[in-house]
Amino acid sequence: MTKYNSLFKQHVIEFYLQNDKNYSFTQRHFQLSKKTLTRWIAQFNHNGINGLAVLGKKRKYSPEFKLTVIQAVKKGQFSAESASLHFGIANSGSISQWLHTFEEQGINGLLPKPKGRPTMKPKYPKMPPPPKTEEERLRYRILEL
């Protein structure tokens, strides 16, 4: 569950616009951090009301998409914040993590990791009991050949 729903975000943006775009007054009135308010305003300016929508469940991104975002940031086209706005990523921290893992592990770091417990080892059939007599031992020896 998110801390702020989209109606509250819309209310904050309306208050901000009605009060001559005053950051500090809006910030104090709603007791928000400057970074949160700045991000909401940037999302509103970039995508309108739809930019304030709560995205819901944790989204999964393909390795190709992650690579596209990383290449755009590395080329200097976007910062992590502006790339999150442009590509529709909820959190710019995700992009920073992708950059870090890409620098350490390369393209393999962007691939999804297996989750959960590892599978159990297969149960191998039991070995036959050792032969008791010389005759049985010779039979097993012949079968092995």
3-state secondary structure of 56: coil
How many CB atoms are closer than 10 A to CB 141?
Answer: 10
Q: How far is CA 115 from CA 66, 105, 112, 118, 120, in A?
A: 19, 19, 9, 8, 14
pLDDT in tens, 40-63: 888 888 878 877 776 666 788 999
Residue 1 has pLDDT above 60, yes or no: no
The residue extents of the domains of the chain are 6-52, 63-110
In percent, the amount of the chain with pLDDT more than 70 equals 94
Q: What pLDDT, in 10s, does the model give residues 10-26?
A: 888 888 888 888 888 88
